[in-house]
Chain A
Amino acid sequence: MGAEFVQFSLTPILIGIFASVACALPGNFLILRRQALIGDAISHVVLPGIVVAFLVTGMVATGPMLVGAATAALVAVVLIEAVRRLGKIEPGAAMGVVFTSLFAGGVLLLEQSDTSNVHLDVEHALMGNLEQLIWLRAEGWGSLVDPVALSHLPPELARMAIVAALVAILTLVFWRPLKLASFDEGFARSIGLPVNLIGFGLVTAAAVGAVAAFDAVGSIIVIAMFICPPAAARLMTNSLGRQVAWSLGFATLSAILGYVLAGYGPIWLGANSSVSAAGMVAAVSGLILALACLFGPARGRIGMAAGG
């Protein structure tokens, strides 16, 4: 746990944790509302968003790309709703139509535009570059109080921390209406809560979390963190508060364990190169979910043998 750890592992792990938390928090409510796949849809349409932003501005700058990605996510949410209502199509199919079409459009634009000389490709978008978000200027734990070294922190760290904090604060502030609207929409409506607005706000928060995380860690982690930690947490408890707490724990654990296994696992096994950190984080979250499915105390449906 010396200088090398601070240099090469501390920042990616922290960014991974913030990204996982920012996705897992809204994921809890999305799962209760049976909208778990919104995260999947959003992370697919982020690609055309950043490609268009690149084509418009002509540069790989974070600001415009985040704006483009967020716009694309909102456009997708609106389109899904429009297809669902105008065509009277069930939500899953409407989502499938919209996000696959937009993703195909994004890939086409990417292949058509001259992006060969910039770091913008589909694989990068999918897998992220968590491994490269290292803190080269760090010389040990002491660098944490060294302003010069701190100014060379990867910018993704601050950005992701702010987004995670924002999502957390929003969750706390809107805790009661969110809880009511997610568990019993009819009751929430009857006491005058703006249920549709809450739903839209939730999806927007999810989109913000997804876009920020996507930029830092790629879409695999985003999709996995939206679903796996909240789903595993849901099998641990019947209380929403405890579920959210479990999900945050699972998300953090996946981020840490996944990064460590990806970086050091192959070396322990005698291989000399590391494997994809994003993929490993997703795999670890899946392992946690599998364990929760097998042993989680609240894993059964009410009335099932496992208790509920």
Chain B
Amino acid sequence: MSDFLNALFFQAGYNAALVAIGAALLGFAAGAGGSFLFLRKRALVADAVAHATLPGVGLAFIVMVALGADGRSLVGLLAGSALSAWCGLLAVEWMVRRTRLSEDAAIGAVLSVFFGLGVVILTVIQGMSRGRQAGLEDFLLGSTAGMLFQDAVLIAAGGAVVVAAIWVLRRPMTMVAFDPTFAAASGIDVRRVDLAMMGVVLAVTVIGLKLVGLILIVALLIIPPVTARFWSERAENVVWSAGLLGALSGWVGAAISASAPSLPTGPIIVLVAASLFAVSLLLAPARGVLATLLARRAFQRRVHRRQGLLAVSRAEPIHDPLTLRILTAEGLMRPDGVATDAGRAAATRISRDERRWSVARRLHHDTALTGRYDGLTPIEEVFTADEIAQFDAEFGTPHQVGPA
């Protein structure tokens, strides 16, 4: 535990602290960048981009070894991966634009074919006598073990640059993600903003390769935005809270993995993000499962209460157990099924409300107002006192219901 706290507060050594900062920055960039994709309903494009990095990593290694350099230079490998991911992205774009294949088919085709090519190139490297492939498999699932100091610096710095780029482009990217037609009408070049968005996703993927690995980087681009969506309706809030959720996942995940060397970094970061998602799915106000259930229950109670009181006002017997329970619990009805004074008063009010509504719906031609009749909304919330007085004039004064 103390190992974990040390790692969490950057006390577990310089390298580990740098990795944690890098992971947090990467998480922020991934969350914020991914939310533009998510709002644009193109979340899985990231999957194609990520898988398309593999052949680039392999080819860059071969080229570097052929030039007599160290094949494991992270900068070189990342440059190669960016190049091939860009090709993958272009291939998806091209297929969607030029053929009748849908985007998901294009994504699937690119990710499987590029990944297959990458694996072929990796086996070529395994067969090479020179320059051993040491560590190339780390790009599949990510690893901080054996990470050099300058690798950690590269990841932290790259993450910072991407976050800065998102900050600069936040306005146009939010507009395009949320409403491309409106953005185009406002004079924004949607195609160029889309390209910038893809550039951000590409940068996040490439920087995250060493840390999280190409199969799991998709998770960081998708899960935080979906999580953030539970907490806010506003596009801009979604972007920044997705960034914060991603940063939290990266930071906590890196700390957990630093405190227990046998825990691989990438999967841990993803699982932290997934836990945040699960909690939000259940507990978020307004959109969470629990909130929805509570709202449904409250609605059901209101319906039963109102129908029960209407039955009282018509002096009809009530048989529904839930209705009986609700009315007795509120003291509107005695356990033997006879309405109390308070119950009869409430019944009178509700019956009057019903009759006012029926008059309102007959007289009033503004359907925007009468359309709000749902059997639950009190008429006072929709019409003014003057208008209600008019409706009352239609059916005379209210009268007492039930046995006098």
Across the interface, which residues of B come within 8 angstroms of A44, CB to CB?
215
Closest to B292 in A: A86
Q: Is the CB of A227 within 8 A of B222?
A: no
Q: Is the CB of A276 within 8 A of B267?
A: no
Q: Is the CB of B216 within 8 A of A278?
A: no
How near does chain A come to B220, taking the closest CB pair, in angstroms? 9
Q: How far is the CA of A57 from the CA of B81 in the complex (A)?
A: 40
Residue of A40, A108, A271 near B127 (CB, 8 A) is A271
Q: Is the CB of B104 within 8 A of A35?
A: yes
**In the complex, chain B residues 183-230 whose Cβ is within 8 Å of any chain A Cβ:** 215-216, 218-219, 222-223, 225-226, 229-230
Q: How far is the CA of A9 from the CA of B281 in the complex (A)?
A: 50
Closest to B220 in A: A100
How near does chain B come to A174, taking the closest CB pair, in angstroms? 22
Q: Is the CB of B108 within 8 A of A36?
A: yes
Q: A266 contacts the other chain (Cβ, under 8 Å)?
A: yes
Contact of A100 with B100 at beta-carbon distance under 8 Å, contacts A92-B41, A275-B123 already known: no
Q: Is the CB of B266 within 8 A of A104?
A: yes
Residue of B120, B141, B218, B267 near A262 (CB, 8 A) is B120
Q: B401 contacts the other chain (Cβ, under 8 Å)?
A: no
The total of Cβ contacts below 8 Å across the A-B interface reads 217
Q: How far is the CA of A104 from the CA of B218 in the complex (A)?
A: 11
How near does chain A come to B114, taking the closest CB pair, in angstroms? 8
Dominant secondary structure at the B interface: helix
Q: A286 contacts the other chain (Cβ, under 8 Å)?
A: yes
Q: How far is the CA of A93 from the CA of B37 in the complex (A)?
A: 10
Q: B397 contacts the other chain (Cβ, under 8 Å)?
A: no
Q: Is the CB of B116 within 8 A of A220?
A: yes
Q: Is the CB of B120 within 8 A of A293?
A: no
Q: A123 contacts the other chain (Cβ, under 8 Å)?
A: yes
Q: Is the CB of B117 within 8 A of A308?
A: no
Q: How far is the CA of A166 from the CA of B342 in the complex (A)?
A: 69
Residue of A40, A95, A235, A273 near B99 (CB, 8 A) is A235
Q: Is the CB of A107 within 8 A of B141?
A: yes
Across the interface, which residues of B come within 8 angstroms of A88, CB to CB?
287
Q: Is the CB of B112 within 8 A of A97?
A: no
Chain B interface residue number, banded: 35 or more
Across the interface, which residues of B come within 8 angstroms of A247, CB to CB?
none
Across the interface, which residues of B come within 8 angstroms of A271, CB to CB?
124, 127
Q: Is the CB of B100 within 8 A of A301?
A: yes
Q: How far is the CA of A88 from the CA of B99 in the complex (A)?
A: 31
Q: Is the CB of B98 within 8 A of A97?
A: no
Across the interface, which residues of A come within 8 angstroms of B216, CB to CB?
100, 103-104, 107
Across the interface, which residues of B come within 8 angstroms of A83, CB to CB?
281
Contact of A126 with B140 at beta-carbon distance under 8 Å, contacts A100-B219, A276-B119, A280-B116 already known: yes
Across the interface, which residues of A come within 8 angstroms of B95, CB to CB?
293
Q: A26 contacts the other chain (Cβ, under 8 Å)?
A: no
Across the interface, which residues of A come within 8 angstroms of B123, CB to CB?
273-276, 279
Across the interface, which residues of A come within 8 angstroms of B114, CB to CB?
286
Q: A127 contacts the other chain (Cβ, under 8 Å)?
A: yes
Closest to A275 in B: B123
Q: Is the CB of A228 within 8 A of B113?
A: yes
Across the interface, which residues of A come within 8 angstroms of B43, CB to CB?
90, 92-93, 96
Q: A39 contacts the other chain (Cβ, under 8 Å)?
A: yes
Residue of A105, A235, A266, A282 near B112 (CB, 8 A) is A282
Contact of A34 with B102 at beta-carbon distance under 8 Å, contacts A108-B267, A220-B119, A285-B113 already known: yes
Q: Is the CB of A40 within 8 A of B105?
A: no
Across the interface, which residues of A come within 8 angstroms of B112, CB to CB?
40, 220, 223-224, 226-228, 282, 285-286
Q: Is the CB of A40 within 8 A of B124?
A: no
Q: Is the CB of A283 within 8 A of B127?
A: no
Q: A31 contacts the other chain (Cβ, under 8 Å)?
A: yes
Q: B176 contacts the other chain (Cβ, under 8 Å)?
A: no
Q: How far is the CA of A40 from the CA of B48 in the complex (A)?
A: 11
Q: How far is the CA of A113 from the CA of B245 in the complex (A)?
A: 29
- Which 9 A-B pairs rank lowest in CB-CB distance, beginning with the nearest? A282-B116, A286-B113, A100-B219, A279-B119, A273-B127, A224-B112, A104-B270, A96-B222, A101-B274
- Jot down 13 A-B pairs with beta carbons below 8 A, ordered by A: A34-B104, A44-B215, A97-B277, A100-B219, A101-B271, A127-B119, A226-B108, A226-B112, A278-B116, A279-B118, A279-B120, A283-B113, A285-B116
Tell me the A residues contacting B by CB distance below 8 Å: 31, 34-37, 39-40, 44, 83, 86-90, 92-97, 100-101, 103-105, 107-108, 111-112, 122-123, 126-127, 220, 223-224, 226-228, 231, 234-235, 262, 266, 271-276, 278-283, 285-286, 289, 293, 296, 298-302, 304, 308
